[in-house]
Structure 1
Amino acid sequence: MSRGFVKEDDQEEIPMVPPRADLPEGVTNYVTQVGMDELLIEKQKLINEREHLDISNEKESRIASNYINAKLQLLKNRIATAKIVDLNNQPKNIIRFGALVTLKIENKTAPEHYQIVGVDEADISKGKIAFISPIARLLINKKVGEKAVLKLAKEDRYFKIINIKY
């Protein structure tokens, strides 16, 4: 039957699914093993959530299921394109993907620690920054003792690399 002959109340809403973390077109989806494990756990949680939907209204159940399926599709695409970087193979004296970097930031007394990770794993509250972020791009290929300058609108921020660990 044509959609033109369906009552407006019978039409289901198409679920709006928020996009995953931005990964620019053509950029390889690098992940750490921890990041891949987190993606797989997220996938299993979504599958479990879909299987245990407890909604008695059939329309609401279909909408909830469609929403979960759309999130799963985005997640499956991200998993399929993921390239795990073995941190054991990274050079120990230079900052690359996966490095846990200790930085002395100008005007701050305590050093700060950041790990350069994939876009889905990035979480600044956990000290994890995406490899495509301006700070990570600035730090890549630097060595202990070197400095990096982040040019901001009102000032420059200086970072000194104190330690690199994988």
Structure 2
Amino acid sequence: MSRAFTREEDSENAIAGIGERPVSQHRNLVTERGLALIDSELAELRDELAKAEKRADRERIALMSRDLRYWTARRESAELSVPEPGSDLVRFGMGVTLEGDDGRKVHWKIVGEDEADPSKGSISHVSPMAVALFGKKVGDVASVNGKEWEIVKLSDS
């Protein structure tokens, strides 16, 4: 194929040896915080791209351009979802406290895929745990990977 028929972004990515960031096929549900994080990421990437362009750093330009395409797509598909206050059913954006068979308690906030950070207590709405919890209420049991967890508390965060 003639180089005249390749997309500019393809040649940028070839320079840096990078591919596109895969965009999830799931609904892009986001919390208010998640939406703010996307907007912040976009602003930072635009700033970094401008700096890279001033330095004519082709690798950095390719990397920032790729990430900007990813976050722009995520922003365009974002669906803000706020849980109904006082809901007694597990929903997106809620905090859920669980107790395992061993008496150990854990607390998860169910958030969007890009916002999820299990090490900080948030899980993606498409994770097996979140899927097992949706629609349940305090006292119900969710089973994930052969382990049962009782829902002991729901919160708006």
Which deviates further from its counterpart, 45-54 or 138-147?
45-54
**Which residue number in structure 1 is paired with residue 140 of structure 2?**
146
Gaps (5+ residues) in structure 2?
4-10
The count of aligned residue pairs is 147
**Which residue number in structure 1 is paired with residue 92 of structure 2?**
97
Task: Tell me by how many angstroms 1:14 deviates.
Answer: 3.7
**Which residue number in structure 2 is paired with residue 23 of structure 1?**
24
The answer (yes or no) to whether the contact 2:108–2:122 under 8 Å persists in 1 is: yes
Task: Tell me by how many angstroms 1:82 deviates.
Answer: 0.3
- Alpha-carbon distance in structure 2 between the residues aligned to 1:74 and 1:54: 19
Q: 1:116 and 2:106 equivalent?
A: no
Q: Normalization by structure 1: what TM-score?
A: 0.79
The answer (yes or no) to whether the contact 1:144–1:163 under 8 Å persists in 2 is: yes
**Which residue number in structure 2 is paired with residue 45 of structure 1?**
44
- Alpha-carbon distance in structure 2 between the residues aligned to 1:36 and 1:17: 25
Specify which structure has the higher proportion of helix.
2
- Alpha-carbon distance in structure 1 between the residues aligned to 2:42 and 2:54: 21
Task: Tell me by how many angstroms 1:51 deviates.
Answer: 1.8
Give, as a single letter, the amino acid of the residue that structure 1 aligns with 2:149.
F
Distance 1:18 1:92, change over 3 A: same
Give, as a single letter, the amino acid of the residue that structure 2 aligns with 1:99.
M
The answer (yes or no) to whether the contact 1:17–1:71 under 8 Å persists in 2 is: no
- Alpha-carbon distance in structure 2 between the residues aligned to 1:71 and 1:126: 24
Residues 34-53 of structure 1 show CA distances to partners (whole Å, capped at 9, x for unaligned) of 00001111111111111223
- Alpha-carbon distance in structure 1 between the residues aligned to 2:64 and 2:32: 25
Q: Normalization by structure 2: what TM-score?
A: 0.83
Task: Give the share of equivalent positions with the same residue, in percent.
Answer: 29
The answer (yes or no) to whether the contact 2:97–2:153 under 8 Å persists in 1 is: yes
- Alpha-carbon distance in structure 1 between the residues aligned to 2:24 and 2:95: 21
Give, as a single letter, the amino acid of the residue that structure 2 aligns with 1:19.
R
